[in-house]
């Protein structure tokens, strides 16, 4: 018996599942970041402190008499990824409900996964390629406001690029072969991404003596953290929604 006769679940039921999926995925991402990223953060802070001690006026912030010690910051990593994950899961759930109003029939479980994949591509990978994550000791404090604004703008443009991709997919038409629809999606996505990359300003602020291998390892760990987060949100949200659908189908149609 197909499940397409059940009514859509109420917004709150979807939201709670999104928040829960996000919280768990955030803690998983925190665990990944703790193992894969923290050693690189430590190494970068050591470089930052060496530079600060050599030239105290240049120090952006001092980690020694800081409000929160290094062990507190390592623990705070889980608070940060957990809260951020919950927020992202809730936003994904909201987008899911708003888009489900245009969906035909009931969800077969792909919508949540596609949304999470779209968010990973648009809100993480597209901005990361233009503005990769920086460890401590990299980045000029004088440009932090500019870099924050351009980063946020890049997140928005990345999501617009994904939306343009879905427009490209649909504009080709349902009768067209899959490869042609995929090509339409690629074209729409690449058009917006390429224009954004050209138009948005670049920042080259890596100190000349900062170890290239450390920078690479840190950036890989940072990207991995976001990949774990969004993969986790997608899979957990889809699983929780599947469970919810089965529960609702069970109460609506006790005969099945």
Partner 1 sequence: MSSSASSQPVVHPAGSARLMWTALATVAVLTLLAYLVAFDQGAVSRSGMYLHELMHDGRHLLGVPCH
The answer to whether 100 contacts partner 1 (rule: CB under 8 A) is yes
The answer to whether 87 contacts partner 1 (rule: CB under 8 A) is yes
Nearer to partner 1, 81 or 196 (CB): 81
In angstroms, the CA 209 to CA 53 distance is 16
The answer to whether 139 contacts partner 1 (rule: CB under 8 A) is yes
Nearer to partner 1, 5 or 253 (CB): 5
CA angle 104–246–8, rounded 5-degree value: 35
Q: Are 122 and 161 in contact (CB under 8 A)?
A: yes
Give me the residue label for tokens 């290239």.
212
Q: Which of 35, 46, 141, 201 binds partner 1 (CB under 8 A)?
A: 141
* Closest distance to partner 1 from the beta carbon of 145 (Å): 9
The answer to whether 156 contacts partner 1 (rule: CB under 8 A) is no
The answer to whether 148 contacts partner 1 (rule: CB under 8 A) is yes
The answer to whether 160 contacts partner 1 (rule: CB under 8 A) is no
Nearer to partner 1, 10 or 211 (CB): 10
Q: Are 30 and 82 in contact (CB under 8 A)?
A: yes
DSSP symbol at 10: P
Q: Which two tokens stand for residue 27?
A: 């803690």
Q: Which two tokens stand for residue 97?
A: 């409900």
Q: Which of 223, 26, 237, 232 is nearest to 124 (CA)?
A: 223
In angstroms, the CA 256 to CA 105 distance is 19
Dihedrals phi, psi of 236, to nearest 5 degrees: -65, -40
Structural Rg of the chain based on CA atoms: 22
Of the candidate spans 70-78, 186-194, 207-215, 240-248, the one that interacts with partner 1 by CB under 8 A turns out to be 70-78
Nearer to partner 1, 34 or 239 (CB): 34
Of the candidate spans 125-133, 188-196, 208-216, 231-239, the one that interacts with partner 1 by CB under 8 A turns out to be 125-133
In angstroms, the CA 195 to CA 198 distance is 5
* Closest distance to partner 1 from the beta carbon of 160 (Å): 15
The answer to whether 88 contacts partner 1 (rule: CB under 8 A) is yes
* Closest distance to partner 1 from the beta carbon of 149 (Å): 9
* HSE (side-chain half, CA atoms, 13 Å) at 195: 9
Q: Which of 134, 193, 196, 217 binds partner 1 (CB under 8 A)?
A: 134
In angstroms, the CA 1 to CA 255 distance is 10
Of the candidate spans 188-196, 216-224, 234-242, 243-251, the one that interacts with partner 1 by CB under 8 A turns out to be 216-224
The answer to whether 170 contacts partner 1 (rule: CB under 8 A) is yes
Q: Which of 37, 122, 158, 234 binds partner 1 (CB under 8 A)?
A: 37
């Amino acid at each position: 018996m197909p499940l397409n006769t059940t009514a859509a679940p109420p917004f709150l039921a979807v939201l709670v599942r999104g928040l829960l999926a996000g919280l768990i995925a955030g803690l998983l991402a925190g665990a990944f970041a703790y193992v894969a990223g923290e050693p690189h953060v430590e190494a970068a802070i050591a470089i930052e402190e060496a530079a600060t001690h050599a030239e105290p006026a240049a120090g952006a912030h001092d980690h020694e008499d800081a409000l929160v010690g290094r062990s507190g910051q390592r623990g705070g990593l889980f608070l940060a990824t957990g809260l951020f994950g919950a927020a992202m899961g809730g936003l994904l759930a909201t987008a899911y409900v708003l888009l489900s109003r245009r969906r035909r029939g009931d969800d077969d479980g792909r919508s949540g996964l596609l949304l999470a994949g779209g968010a990973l591509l648009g809100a993480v990978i597209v901005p990361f390629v233009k503005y990769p994550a920086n460890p401590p000791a990299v980045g000029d404090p004088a440009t932090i406001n500019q870099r924050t604004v351009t980063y946020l703008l890049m997140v928005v443009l990345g999501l617009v690029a994904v939306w343009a991709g879905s427009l490209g997919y649909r504009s080709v038409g349902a009768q067209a072969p899959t490869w042609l629809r995929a090509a339409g999606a690629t074209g729409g996505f690449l058009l917006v991404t390429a224009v954004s990359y050209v138009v948005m300003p670049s920042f080259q602020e890596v100190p000349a003596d900062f170890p290239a291998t450390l920078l690479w390892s840190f950036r890989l760990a940072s990207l991995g953290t976001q990949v774990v987060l969004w993969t986790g949100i997608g899979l957990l949200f889809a699983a929780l929604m599947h469970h919810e659908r089965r529960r609702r189908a069970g109460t609506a149609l006790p005969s099945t």
